[in-house]
Chain A
Amino acid sequence: MVSPIYILVLSLAAGFMLSIFDKGGRRLSLTAFYGVLTFNLAVMVDWLYRLAFLHAPTLVINTAGFKAPISINLELGITEAFVLLLTNLTGLLAAVYLFKKFKESRVSSLILYLLLIMGVNGLVMTQDLFNMFVFLEILSISTFALTVLTKNSKTLSAGFKYMIAGGVASTFFLLGVVFVYYFTGSLNLGFLRAGQFTDAGMIALFMLAVSVFIELKPFPANGWALDVYQSVDSGIVSVIAVVNSAAIGFVFYKIMPLLPGNFLTVFGIAGVITFFFSNMMGLKQDNAKRLLGYSSIGQMGLLLASLVFTANSPANIRYLIIGGLFINHLISKAGLFWLAGIVKEEKIKDWTILRNNKPLLVLFGLFIFALSGLPPFAGFWAKWEFVKVLVDAKMFFVLVSVLVGSLFELIFLFRWFTNTVKEANSELEPMDPPGKGKAFSAISFGLLAVITSFGIMRFFYEFNWIQVLPILAVLVITLIDSLPSKVKGFLSLAALAGYGYYIYPLLESNLQLFFGVIFIVGSAVNLISTLNRKEQSKGFYGFLLMMIFSFGNLLIASTYLEFFLSWEFMTISSFLLILRGQKAQRASLMYMIFSTAGAYLIMAGFSFAPALTSSSALILAIENVNLPLISIIALAIGFMIKSGSLGVHIWLPEAHAEAESDVSSFISAILLKAGVFGLLMVAISYISHSPNFDVFYWIGWIGVLTALVGAFMASFQEDAKRLLAYSSMSQVGYVVAALALITHLGWVTSLYLAFNHMMFKSALFIAIAGIYYRTHTRTMYKMGGLISRMPWTFMTVLMSIIAVSGVPPLSGFGGKWLTYTAFITKGWYLQAGVLFFASGISFLYLYRLIHTIFLGQLKYEHQNIKEAPAWFIIPQYIFLGGIMAISMFPNLIIEPLNSIAMRYFSSSIQINGLTVISDLGYWNGNLVMYVTMAVFAVPFILLMLVKGRTQRVKQFNIVYAAERPESPQTTHVAHNMYAHYRKALGRLTLPRIQTFWNGVAEWAHTFGGFFRRVYTGNGQTYVLHIIMYIVVIYIVMGVR
């Protein structure tokens, strides 16, 4: 066991000796240099182990043979050891990263670097205020000097601004220290008490605190820091952003107990403001390192806010929040700065060259995901707990700022990520291979991120392995990714079967079982279509399994956190699947932004919810939970974003259209149902604990309008997949509307429609996937007459659209019968009328779909295309089989649904043999089927009889009168098919919602652009900001 004072001693000694060692060659001095850094780390590993696992008492080191307060003393408790372990680790890895630089630069940079690290260690451990000042100055001076490790006019001017700003801050710090001494007679933190500061003493305390705060770069007094982040060498910047900030943040943490409540509140709010504005200004940033600077400043603001606002939380939660945010910032920020140094491209849009190096691209994604606070990384857990703390403390202003700020951050990070992965770039310049040291450091932090995530999940939350399964699936598939696509596909099917077998006994109710069939069985059948993939499809099956397992985990989640974790896994995996689409950059970004906004609402909604009292699955336990109104609203909006309700649907057509064809069917048929599942969960609580405000009445209206608008929009599409996407939106609108009835029949209807939609929409999307596979186009008017070339697919589409439209005899008819009965029984006549109208509109797009693609003239280029491959046909016909089965024997589904809904309501229907009887009438699906078959058979037989008398006209047996139009298909009826309806609707068809969201985005960017104008680039202005900031904070705090 080595006393940590030797860290200081050895660093100083080595600092002096290095220049002598250097005479014996750079190899010698470098050895000593890295030796000391490793020694520091080893000491801290040792001490953290002792303090945490052997329960050693906090180590107190007295110096100069006296006890404090006569002499300076150092303290090393578990918190100090934790912070120092991570900072020394970062210090060492940053030094490894800078290896080449250190080999070539002057020996003085090695000395400065050692002093910097020593300053950090001293700053964290010392208990003496003046000693703190000394270490702060050692840290600052060495940092100033290191900013010009790469010397150019940018680093020089940034360094100079940094120095004058730092100089002003440390002047105030020194004054604060001295006045503290003057008023209390002590400099030792162990001997200072908050009560000692009265009247003028407060001013002393204020100066001390505010100067530390300024060093932590609060908005807007932080322009100098941004310039440093942007210009200085990546290795050094990672140290400044992470290690220095951590040490100074820790100083703030140490003086916090002295500060009165109103100081802390103001500092906490200033931290939140910093977080919010930095991220907002980050929206306009296109320089990668400056963007990271904005993000760093924001993260430090968030960290400060969490320090202040978690003061009353239980210790373990507090450690998780602060520690989680800290470690997340440390890993991802250092990692990203290092990558910035490897990529060597200033502009974000030039990062596309990272595609040349797949491992680094993965690492980049990992850091971006971690920084955005997505699971399983530390930031996710910290944010979850922090939101809960804020809700419990009723700090709604802070809550909203934190969530909106996080969303801004996610937007610019994911714009960067999607741009890097997908931006069309005709020629990718080759990337310089990264140096060994650089890659080593970045990869180490990638591993550290994984290890901490695992640690938190395993030891803090003690999750079952099933919760981690989605991640494991990705890892396993990555390991076997070199296998042919088909093998992976079959393995995935097997994994899915195994998973289904495992969770089947865990499903405690029919409701779970029902959604289990949609999620797991539906996915399994859909998965068959992916077996057609010829290319390697690297990563595809991993994310696909991750998504499906997350669906399943939603069913068995027994706490809010488990549910939310699975929800986020689902979002991440579906985002990555959508991103695989060729032009999916914009679509996937939009999906991620909307999903995350929804996720934040859900997170807040759960935080408002009272604790669960039962240990069964959440969907059951929620029965006994009295959700407050705000929670219901937040959760409902969050889930409705995922199910594509009107107003927040604009991600939906993009994502469906741009995803790969076989992914679209998963998104539409299954992913949207996850939103329905969530909404159902809210409704279950609502039945027995409905608040005064009738939320579901309005949700019902939203559902109805979604159905109507979706149908209209679908009618105006030229792109088959967009048409189906809008159709999905419309159909899920029905599901939501019926669910909002909160009646027995309403829920039977809702679930019936959901199941039906899963089947026909899967079949339709797979059919379109097959057509796209053959024709390479999604634009419908470029097709036509495919009935003769692809009869099997035609049959699927025909059957499916019958099932959608609700004409007898297929399942849609039952759906419509149930819908109208349910709405009329409830007394929602107007809504029923609108839905009826919407059903009429759906004929328009369904007709367009089948007519344009399959009927009419076969296009010349499609003369010889073949039927879709069997892998597409098989799942279609499995779904068709399902549709036929429930059409013929509706009891197969009505009976289970009846029993599900009877758990919550008394039954409103009777099932008599094959007949379903409601208050309004009865429906015998079986009989309807026979009647319709008979009606169909008569003209069919007649037509067959007259077949011989028809005369075939050759396709090009047409003469144009005068000239041949440029693109003949645009003269065809199928092109812009419903133009007259569009005209009739006039202004109603303007994309108002799209325009609204565009406006929101533009405003956010404009504000970001406006506020960042405070950073004029002039060092003097920055000093003025600092002084004014101090004055403002002084006035706000009301110090006297």
Chain B
Amino acid sequence: MISTLILGIALLIIGFYAMLTRKNLIKIVIGFSIADTGTHIIIVSLGYLRGKTAPIIDGAVSMVNAVSEVVDPVPSALVLTAIVIGLAVTAVMLSFIVEMYKKNKSLSIDDYQELKW
């Protein structure tokens, strides 16, 4: 659990770093995507319990002992929703970039500072 948690946090930091330092709009979105993935990994890692199995009741896990044998299913359920939402946000961002490029022929975030103060 710890190792995946560290991995998740590392991805999160890498993602934010990319968002803060890359000038290219697409790279910023990639940064966001990496951070998002980091978040998802953190979520999953939080639900993981050492030595337990997937929360699916079948031959391997009996109904009676389920609570003591499976990992926490809630984070797994949450992460699915989070992934979908992350996908949607990324898609909207990318579609914005397409339109922005069409209008201004630039992918540098420095060229979009018209509105300020």
Chain A contact residues, CB within 8 Å of chain B: 130, 133-134, 137, 140-141, 144-145, 148, 151-154, 156-161, 163-164, 167-168, 170-171, 174-175, 177-179, 181-182, 187, 223, 226-227, 230-231, 284-285, 1012-1013, 1015-1020, 1023-1024, 1027
B78 contacts A1019, C-beta separation under 8 Å: no
Which chain A residues lie closer than 8 Å to B115 at the CB level? 154, 157-158, 226-227, 230-231, 1017
B71 at the interface (CB under 8 A from A): no
Bitwise interface map of B from 71 to 94 toward A, beta carbon under 8 Å scored 1, else 0? 000110010011001001100110
Binary CB contact string for chain B from 84 to 106 against chain A (1 if under 8 A, 0 otherwise): 01001100110011011001100
Q: A145-B92, A157-B115, A181-B75 are in contact. Are A174 and B16 (CB under 8 A)?
A: no
A168 contacts across to B, CB distance below 8 A:
16, 19, 32, 35
Contact status of A156 and B99, CB under 8 A, knowing A175-B39, A1016-B116, A1018-B109: yes
Report yes or no: B78 in contact with A130, Cβ–Cβ below 8 A.
Answer: yes
The 10 closest A-B pairs by CB, nearest first: A1017-B116, A1017-B113, A157-B112, A227-B115, A137-B85, A153-B103, A182-B46, A1012-B117, A156-B100, A178-B43
The interface residues of chain A lying within 8 Å CB-to-CB of B114 are 153-154, 157, 1017
Secondary structure of the A side of the interface?
Answer: helix
B39 — which chain A residues lie within 8 A by C-beta?
Answer: 171, 174-175
Given contacts A160-B25, A1012-B117, whether A141 and B89 have CB atoms under 8 Å apart is yes
- Note all chain B residues with C-beta closer than 8 A to A230: 115
Give the distance to chain A from B34, nearest Cβ to Cβ, in Å: 11
Interface band, chain B: 35 or more
Residue pair A174, B82 in contact (C-beta under 8 Å): yes
A-B contact pairs, 22 of them (CB 8 A): A133-B82, A154-B114, A160-B97, A161-B112, A163-B96, A167-B32, A167-B36, A168-B32, A170-B89, A177-B78, A178-B75, A181-B74, A181-B78, A231-B115, A285-B117, A1013-B117, A1017-B113, A1017-B116, A1019-B112, A1020-B28, A1024-B20, A1027-B20
**With A and B bound together, what is the CA distance between A178 and B115 in angstroms?**
36
> Chain A contacts of B36 at CB under 8 A?
167, 171
**Which residue of chain B has the shortest Cβ distance to A1011 in the bound complex?**
B117
A820–B113 Cα distance when bound, in Å, is 69
Kindly state the separation between the CA atoms of A230 and B74 in the bound complex, as whole angstroms. Answer: 41
**Which residue of chain A has the shortest Cβ distance to B36 in the bound complex?**
A171
Inter-subunit contact B93/A137 (CB<8 Å): no
Alpha-carbon separation in the docked complex, A771 to B90 (Å): 74
Give every chain A residue within 8 A of B100 (Cβ-Cβ): 153, 156-157, 160
Nearest CB of B to A56, in Å: 33
Report B-chain residues with C-beta under 8 Å of the C-beta of A1017. Answer: 112-117
A176 to chain B, nearest CB (A): 11
What residues on A are CB-neighbors of B81 within 8 Å? 130, 134
**Chain A residues closer than 8 Å to B75, beta-carbon distance:** 178, 181-182
Contact between chains at A159 and B96 (CB < 8 Å): yes
Query: A1020 and B96 in contact (CB under 8 A), knowing A152-B103, A167-B32, A231-B115?
Result: no
For A144, the closest partner residue in chain B by CB is: B92
Task: Report A171 CB to chain B, min CB distance, Å.
Answer: 5
Which chain A residues border B88 with CB–CB below 8 Å? 137, 141
Q: Is B110 an interface residue (CB 8 A)?
A: yes
Q: How far in angstroms is the closest Cβ of chain B from A465?
A: 48
Most buried by A among B21, B75, B115: B115
Instruction: Enumerate chain B residues within 8 angstroms of A164, measured Cβ to Cβ.
Output: 19, 28, 32, 93
With A145-B92, A175-B42 as contacts: A1020 and B113 at CB distance below 8 Å:
no
B107 nearest CB across to chain A (Å): 11
Q: Which residues of B contact A1015 (CB under 8 A)?
A: 116-117
Whether the pair A1027, B16 counts as a contact (CB closer than 8 A) is yes
Given A134-B81, A171-B39, A230-B115, A1020 contacting B89 (CB threshold 8 A): no
Contact flag A156-B20 (CB < 8 Å), given A137-B89, A171-B36, A1019-B109: no
Measured between alpha carbons, how far is A1020 from B27 in the docked complex, in Å? 12
In the complex, the chain B residue whose C-beta lies closest to that of A140 is B89
Does the CB pair A1018–B110 fall under 8 Å? Answer: yes
Q: Roughly how many angstroms separate A163 CA and B90 CA in the complex, as a whole number?
A: 9
Closest to B90 in A: A167
Q: What is the distance, in angstroms, from A223's C-beta to the closest C-beta of chain B?
A: 8
How far apart are the CA atoms of A137 and B19 in the complex, in Å? 20
Find the B residue at minimum CB distance from A1012. B117
Interface residues of B in 10-48 (CB under 8 A from A): 12, 16, 19-21, 23, 25, 28, 32, 35-36, 39, 42-43, 46
- In the complex, which residues of chain B have a beta carbon less than 8 angstroms from the beta carbon of A145? 92
Q: Give the CA-CA distance A607 to B13 in the complex, in Å.
A: 50
In the complex, are the beta carbons of A178 and B46 less than 8 A apart?
Answer: yes
What chain B residues lie within 8 Å of A137 (beta carbons)? Answer: 85, 88-89
- With a CB–CB cut-off of 8 A, which chain A residues contact B116? 223, 227, 1015-1017
Minimal beta-carbon separation of A348 from chain B (angstroms): 15
Whole-angstrom distance between the Cβ of B81 and the nearest chain A Cβ = 6
Q: Which of A152, A174, A1023 has the most CB of B within 10 A?
A: A174
